[in-house]
Amino acid sequence: MLLTRQTSPAVASPVLWADAAAHLRLSDTIEQTLVEGLIEAATLYAEAYTHRAARANVWVMLREEFYEADGADMTLPLADVASVTTVERFYGNAWVAVPSTVWQLKRSLSRSSVVEKTGSAWPTEWDDVAYPVRVTFVQAAGVPAGVLRAGILKHVAALYADRGDAEPVLTGASPDGWTRTLNVDAAKQSGAEALYAPFALQRF
């Protein structure tokens, strides 16, 4: 399975440069590029920590076939799925849409699935070959906007305050380890994690 995000994070970010500039009391745009990078780092951290989306995202999932290996329904491996846009299969050297009369979204909090509608069935061929499947779906933000904004701004402020204090102690296993350590410490010490914790899902 291959999962690709189609939405541009910069467009959908829950915190904008103007929000961060006001929070950090910055009066000019000299450090805008730096701060926008910190916003994206903090946003990605919020998503990784909660296992949920911090902004509405459009995803494309590529699969080997309609069913899971154990015969179960086609699982969408992310939380807070709002809708499925298209289900397609690669057949005759082209992507062919499967009519929405055949399938429906079965939603749940932690992971949803695309299932056959009652009385319908996924298309099959006489040669019984499994054809690749492509599913485009929308993942809604899973954490309240106010909590996200407050957490990201706290995290960004901590990263900004420590921006010149990180010592580049590198390890062979983690070339960017110092950056990641700074990010984790900032999330904890700023209180951002405490805000996210009630909305975090267990890893699945």
Each of the 204 residues of the chain gets a pLDDT tens digit; together they read: 888 888 765 556 789 999 999 999 999 999 999 999 999 889 989 988 888 888 888 899 999 888 876 667 899 988 889 999 999 999 888 999 999 999 999 987 777 999 999 999 888 765 566 789 999 999 888 888 899 999 999 999 999 988 765 444 444 454 444 455 567 788 999 999 999 999 998 754
With a CB cutoff of 8 Å and minimum separation 6, the contacts of 199 are 50, 52, 142, 143, 144, 147
5-32: per-residue pLDDT in tens? 887 655 567 899 999 999 999 999 999 9
Q: Which residue has the tokens 């492509």?
A: 134
Distance, in Å, from the CA atom of 199 to the CA atom of 67, rounded to the nearest integer, reads: 30
Q: Cβ contacts of residue 159 below 8 Å, gap of 6+?
A: 38, 41, 42, 182, 183, 186
Name the pTM for this structure. 0.72
Q: Would residue 162 be called left, alpha or beta, if left means φ above 0 and alpha means ψ between -120 and 50 degrees?
A: alpha
Tokens standing for 35? 């701060």
76 CB contacts (<8 Å, ≥6 apart)?
A: 61, 84, 111, 112, 113, 114, 135, 137
